[in-house]
């Protein structure tokens, strides 16, 4: 991840252990999103926390590559992980829990949404997007839970949530977890109108979809413009912003200058545009 205060604000999971799951099904949601549903294996040991719960996802690159993973990810174990040859080292990425269901047809289920750029068939997609488009039921994956970043001061009910498409799954999780009396705004930037998704949210939180008009524009730019136009509330408010690194860095700076306390902000650059 790029610049962020996530490590200092997040709520850590009780048991950040390695869990091996399998693919139950996959679904193409829209032009730029695919959903993979995971379950089986160690899913019974996964503890759902709601909000923007995220995890380290390990995608296998060979038949036995998942067997060499550490039971926990520490500085030392990560260094050892990097010593595994590239032909056997699983692809490691960070993803959010889009949804958790305790009772699916085969037990608990975890939905993971992937942003799709490029083409798996054409070889222009990244390794995670390619996997999301080509995995089949029964394929194994591993994850290590990392907890949640959304951590407002007790009693805070007003929120401002901002994300580009990479942060949409986390944004959706927060909206679904907020108390019914929450108020505020949620801004979600997406590449096309067809990428809108049904979102559960409190009536008092206004959700705005921001469609990127220019396909060549840097993701997050349109969301930043819209967020800068919102007045910073005078009452206590919690700001949460994630996405391409310029979006959270610049919006956090604006919020602080406008008087929002730094401890009332969670910002995280999920990726960096080149």
Q: Write the DSSP assignment of 220-255 as a string of letters.
A: THHHHHHHHTSPPPSS-EEEEEEEETHHHHHHHHHH
pLDDT of amino acid 2: 45
pLDDT of amino acid 272: 87
pLDDT of amino acid 63: 85
For the beta sheet containing 183-190, the strands, ordered from the edge strand earlier in sequence to the opposite edge, are: 205-211, 183-190, 158-163, 237-244, 265-271
Looking at domain 158-271, its CATH class is alpha beta
| CATH number for the domain running over 6-147 | 2.40.30.10
Question: Residue ranges of the domains in the chain?
Answer: 6-147, 158-271
Which stretches of the chain drop beneath a pLDDT of 70?
1-2, 119-121
From first CA to last CA, the distance across the chain in angstroms is 14
The per-residue b/e assignment along 198-208, b for 16 or more CB within 10 angstroms, e otherwise, is: ebebbeebeee
- Selection from 256, 273, 257 nearest residue 265 by Cα: 256
Quote the crossing angle between the two packed helices 246-257 and 221-228, to the nearest 10°.
10
pLDDT of amino acid 1: 41
The H-assigned helical ranges of 51-108 are: 75-82
Q: pLDDT tens across 185-220, in order?
A: 999 999 999 999 999 999 999 999 999 988 889 999
47 φ/ψ angles, rounded to the nearest 5 degrees: -110, 110
Q: What share of the chain is helix, strand, coil (3-state, %, to 5)?
A: 25, 35, 40
Q: pTM value?
A: 0.94
Indicate the pairing of strand 265-271 with strand 183-190.
unpaired
């Amino acid at each position: 991840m790029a610049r962020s205060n996530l490590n200092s604000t997040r709520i850590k999971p009780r048991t950040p252990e390695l869990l091996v799951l399998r693919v139950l099904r996959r679904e193409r949601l829209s032009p730029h999103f695919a959903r993979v549903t995971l379950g089986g294996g160690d899913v019974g040991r996964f503890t759902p926390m709601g909000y923007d719960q995220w995890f380290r996802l390990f995608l296998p690159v060979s038949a036995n590559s998942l067997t060499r993973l550490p039971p926990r990810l520490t500085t030392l174990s990560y260094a050892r992980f990097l010593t595994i040859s590239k032909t056997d080292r699983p692809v490691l990425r960070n993803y959010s829990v889009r949804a958790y269901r305790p009772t699916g047809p085969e037990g608990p289920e975890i939905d993971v949404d992937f942003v799709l750029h490029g083409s798996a068939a054409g070889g222009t997609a990244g390794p995670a997007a390619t996997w999301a488009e080509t995995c089949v039921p029964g394929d194994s994956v591993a994850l290590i839970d990392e907890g949640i970043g959304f951590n407002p001061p007790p009693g805070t009910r007003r929120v401002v949530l901002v994300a580009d498409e990479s942060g949409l799954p986390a944004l959706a999780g927060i909206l679904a977890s907020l108390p019914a009396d929450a108020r505020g705004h949620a801004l979600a930037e997406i590449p096309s109108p067809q990428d809108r998704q049904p979102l559960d949210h409190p009536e008092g939180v206004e959700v705005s979809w921001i469609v990127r008009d220019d396909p060549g524009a840097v993701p997050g730019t349109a969301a930043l413009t819209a967020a800068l136009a919102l007045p910073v509330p005078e009452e206590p408010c919690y700001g949460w912003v994630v996405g391409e690194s310029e979006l959270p860095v610049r919006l956090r700076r604006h919020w602080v200058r406008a008087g929002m306390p730094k401890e009332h902000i969670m910002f995280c650059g999920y990726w960096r545009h080149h």
